[in-house]
A and B are shown apart, each in its own frame.
Chain A
Amino acid sequence: MRRSCVEDGHAMTMPGVRCRIGDISVSLRSELPEILLDFQTIYGGTPLGFDDPGDGVRMEVRRAARSRLGRPRYQVYGDGVEIGGARRAKEVFPFLEWGINLRVIDTRPDYLQLHAASLVKGGQGCILAGGSGFGKSTIAAGLMTRGWQYLSDEFALIHRDTHLLHPFPKALCIKEGSFAAVERLGLPFARRRDYVKARKGRVAYISPLDLGSDAIARPSPIRLVILPQYAPEARPHVHRVSPAQALVELAGCTFNRFAFGDRLFTILKKVVDDAACYRLFSNDLEASCRLVESLLPQSKDRADRPIQMDASAIARTPSNGKTQQSPRHSRRDFLRAGAKIAYITPAVLALTPEHAFAAGSNPSGQCSTAVHTGGLCDTDTDCCTGKCSIGICE
């Protein structure tokens, strides 16, 4: 392993900047001036003196030896340990962003860390949890233009004792496919739009500093759990997800779950017990935001919430704020109707702590099988077809 800049004394010759992201202090030293400028534009902060070792999460970016073909390479370190390298300058900032997340995973065991965006409205917290490409960041951006306060993107922090959502306002990472939608919302991108982030391709960032002085929320209780899923050919709609199913899926989205062991489930059980849980099938930002917004006020009255609704139903929402649904089903009705059918939805929580969304689904309760097994899903698919009519659905 390469030695870090700090260890070989090289770091102190590099310019640096220090900032706070939520309650986490981050300092960055970089040989690449444009990375420092990007970082300071997005997070603000103050310059780091050459004799200042920094505190909290200490990140470093330096040029590495050129490749055999003579191409430049870049190395990112976190707290003195090499995290990895980038071959193109455009990849460095996204890599740095992820490196900060990795260091937080390793150094903040007081938080359960979920792959989720998190926001707050009216003191009620919402997490949008799921794998990459499910639309978390874009929906979060949409909600912010509707008066929601920001807590985090990619990385929701739930305190292990209070179970409150804590702010970790990293920059929102928007993929190229959503640039136009975000521009229509009037949200400004910070500096450039030509960053490249591994599988996601071209990305741009929205700085939390550009969202307004009161845009960052305080620690808040979680009242709404949304599991977004991109559904290009369907009208945006939501399905109720049972708390048990939501618990399993949130467990699969937790980066540091192995550090918590059994306690992971105890914490997440409290979260899903206190929140309303929905799966959001999304392809239209405006309609999806309307749907999410309509779910929040109902979260106190769990039994009367509709099992599923779509964007057209929301459009008919009367002015008193209560959502009308037809037919109207309750969770209790569903359980009563399904009480004679034994179903099981197994899942394996992947043993690698990255992008795990390894949960089966039993979304509708319409399966007429004696045994319902969702099997093991990968990060982008949902295995249950809901169309089974034989004994075992796989």
Chain B
Amino acid sequence: MTSPTSGMKTLAVLAGFGREEVVLPRRRAGIREYVCDGETVLFDPATWRTCVLNATAYDIWQRCDGRSTMRQVARRQAGAYEVSFDTALDHVEQVAALFASLTLFDVEGADATVVR
């Protein structure tokens, strides 16, 4: 089980590298998803933490598969929602940081996939 401190570690990893760095965020296994009328509830059975995502945030969540960089995720978001790349990247970074702070990312994977 991932502890809150490891989540903060991931957050630090994500925040510590600027846009020049490459991070491959990965969803933690075991997080349950419940789709309700366009929004999604994520439920972490380990911590009983929940969060509600709108469709955009859920897209970001889905794209954090450990194979895509934040910039790649942002590029797809920008294409899907017709916003500028910078705006999309801003969203992706903030959402990813939140996911990390909520310990929803696989910290081992995140550490291992940080590429300088």
| A residues neighboring B (CB under 8 Å) | 242-245, 247-248, 251, 258, 261-262, 265-266, 269, 272-273, 302, 331, 335, 338-349, 351, 359-360, 362, 370-371, 373, 391-392
Contacts and interface: CB of A to CB of B under 8 A. Distances in A.
B60 interface: yes
A273 B53 contact: no
Interface of B: 32, 34, 36-41, 43, 45, 47-57, 60, 81-83, 87, 90-91, 94-95, 98-99, 102
Contacts of B49: 346-349
A339 B32 CA distance: 23
A347 B50 contact: yes
Interface centre among B50, B56, B99, by most A CB within 10 Å? Answer: B50
Contact of B41 (A247, A343, A348, A373): A247
A262 B45 contact: yes
A340 B81 contact: yes
Contacts of A370: 87, 90-91, 94-95
Given A338-B54, A370-B91, 14 more contacts: A242-B36, A261-B45, A335-B38, A339-B54, A340-B83, A341-B54, A342-B54, A343-B54, A343-B56, A344-B98, A346-B51, A349-B49, A370-B87, A373-B98
Interface centre among A265, A273, A340, by most B CB within 10 Å? Answer: A340
Contacts of A242: 36-39, 52
Contacts, number: 114
A111 to B, nearest CB: 20
A248 B98 contact: no
A153 B75 CA distance: 52
A265 B57 contact: no
Interface centre among B32, B47, B57, B81, by most A CB within 10 Å? Answer: B57
Contacts of A351: 48
A348 B48 contact: yes
Contact of B55 (A243, A245, A335, A392): A335
Nearest to B40: A244
Contact of A344 (B43, B47, B53): B53
A344 B57 contact: yes
A362 to B, nearest CB: 7
B94 A244 contact: no
A245 B39 contact: yes
B54 to A, nearest CB: 5
Nearest to B83: A340
Nearest to B57: A342
Given A243-B36, A244-B34, A269-B34, A346 B98 contact: yes
Contacts of B102: 346
